[in-house]
Amino acid sequence: MASSYSRDGTYYFADGNVTILVSTTLFKVHRPILARDGSTFVDLFALDNIATTNSGSDSRILEGEGTTDENPILLQGDTVDEFRDLLCVLYALPSEIATIMAAKGDLIQLSNVVRMAHKYHYITTEAWALRTLLACFSSQPVASLLTHSLVQITEVAVLCENKPLLDAVRREWKYLVAERKDLAIAINVMGRLGIRDIEGLAYYGMLLEGRQRWDSDPNLTRDQRIRLLSGYYNLTEASEALTHTPPKFVHHPHCDDEDDCNDDRTIFWNLVTCSAPDVGIGSPTPIEKCSDLMGKLGNAVNVMMALNRDTVDRTNHMGCNFWYSRCRGLALQETMRLSKETEENMMNFFVDLA
């Protein structure tokens, strides 16, 4: 059986005392190295020693697992690269560790170390690898990271429930989605890992790209295309309703007349959420699509921020008295809250059809 396996070119030591099989590659390494840091290999080797001791001095000692190429310890679910990268750290010299810790460290290698250290309970090694991975990842220029690498880093961030690393990869995914890059990949990865808010934003970005784009994308499933259709209907309906339903807010303590203020606010809200550039206030171009709910909310936030800075052009809208309301700041806060809440819960619009 061993003849069908190949020996690893780096980590097959002549003086090694334990043989590990990963896929079709044999590694012959040293038990004390694998047993470092309280790993699960400590218990594995302890069980092997007990089995050998209990075999009895008068009987033939059974050949233990991992003692020869013909009877290696088989590691399930790992790749050769992952195990090799773990061994690289376990056997590393100080100068080699410094290279791994450098700003341009190999992010895939570090991700592999994190994954393997987590799986086999190398506690301090996992903590070190997570810190190093975060430092190297954070030093990368924006948009310079390959999506394949980002996927792997996101997987280990979720696996280890490491909030600092997860926050960092979330920012990168949000940038990609905002630029409408790799949207189908984002939809699939975020859905698989349960990162619901960014999954919703990826669906939203794909929706705004148009049906021709998502009908032709081979990375989208039929169910995902159905969700996009559902999202188009729900967002169009919500976008149309938004113009007639300004968010409620608590009035300023010195508001002159709350009823008049609400009426003026409704007129103003209609203007800032109107899609027609010759009627509304704010962006000189139309809202991107009738389903562009976030476009309307974003325009509303920008106009109301300008209103609070007193930099809005009022020339064509002198009949709107909300310019002078003491409640402008409170209305801005509530509009920003609504925009943030809508963005975070975007996935709710892309529901499965019964």
Predicted confidence band of residue 1 (pLDDT cuts 50, 70, 90): low
Q: Is the pLDDT of residue 203 over 50?
A: yes
Exposure class string for 122-150: b at 16+ Cβ within 10 A, else e: beebbebbbebbbebbeebeeeebeeeeb
Cα-based distances in Å from 79 to 65, 152, 251, 321: 20, 14, 61, 67
Percentage of the chain with pLDDT > 90? 53
Tokens of 146: 């390959």
**First-to-last CA distance in the chain?**
52
* CA neighbor of 113 nearest in space, from 185, 31, 39: 39
The set of residues, in sequence order, having a beta carbon less than 8 Å from that of 15 and lying 6+ positions away, is 30
Q: What is the pLDDT of residue 157?
A: 98
pLDDT in tens, 71-112: 999 999 999 999 999 999 999 988 888 777 765 668 999 999
120 vs 83: CA distance, rounded Å: 11
Q: Is the pLDDT of residue 19 over 80?
A: yes
Tokens of 320: 């709107």
Tokens of 20: 């590990």
Q: What value does the mean pLDDT take over residues 6-30? A: 95
pTM for this prediction: 0.84
Does residue 167 contact residue 152 with C-beta atoms inside 8 Å? no
Q: Which helix (H) or strand (E) holds 140?
A: none
Q: What is the pLDDT of residue 354?
A: 56
Q: What value does the mean pLDDT take over residues 314-324? A: 56
Q: What value does the mean pLDDT take over residues 247-252? A: 82
Burial class (CB in 10 A: 0-12, 13-18, 19+), 287: buried
* CA neighbor of 122 nearest in space, from 191, 42, 189, 48: 42
